[in-house]
């Protein structure tokens, strides 16, 4: 199962997200379309924020299915929309494929420490 933790400040500003684990949707030895979709939307969101000029800290481990993106500094124009789209897309994936494979959680954070 993949768990995605979306972090926001008390004021509602996005602070980052973490994806943990492999969805396990596909049969053994077959490509996992859900993992592929999650990876694609996460990488697309990170790339979009980087193109917008947002300062980010990104780490990943493909083997364990771990990806972490921390938004640093003041949010630049477009980051909220990119993160809203990320949240919307992964929520729809969770609804379509089920919480057995993908769970979305939210965490309130005061800073990026």
User: What tens digit of pLDDT does each residue of 38-77 get?
Assistant: 999 999 999 999 999 999 999 999 889 999 999 999 999 9
CA of residue 97 relative to chain centroid, distance? 16
pLDDT at position 109: 92
Give residue limits of the domains in the chain: 2-108
pLDDT at position 30: 81
pLDDT at position 112: 54
User: What tens digit of pLDDT does each residue of 11-46 get?
Assistant: 999 999 999 998 989 887 788 899 999 999 999 999
pLDDT at position 26: 83
Gap between the Cα atoms of 36 and 52, Å rounded: 24
Is residue 16 within 8 Å of residue 10, measured between CB atoms? Answer: no
Architecture of the 2-108 domain: 2-Layer Sandwich (3.30)
Is residue 6 classed as helix, strand or coil in its secondary structure? strand
Q: pLDDT at residue 113 above 70?
A: no
Using only the alpha carbons of the chain, give its radius of gyration. 14
pLDDT at position 110: 84
């Amino acid at each position: 199962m993949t768990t995605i933790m979306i972090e926001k400040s008390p004021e509602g500003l996005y602070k980052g997200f973490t994806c943990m684990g492999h969805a396990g949707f596909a049969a053994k030895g077959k490509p996992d379309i859900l993992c592929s979709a999650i990876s694609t939307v996460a990488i697309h969101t990170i790339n979009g924020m980087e193109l917008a000029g947002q300062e980010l800290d990104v780490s990943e481990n493909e083997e364990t299915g771990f990806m972490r993106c921390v938004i640093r500094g003041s949010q630049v124009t477009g980051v909220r929309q990119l993160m809203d789209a990320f949240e919307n897309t992964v929520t729809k994936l969770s609804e379509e494929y089920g919480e057995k494979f993908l769970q979305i959680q939210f965490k309130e954070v005061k800073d990026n420490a």
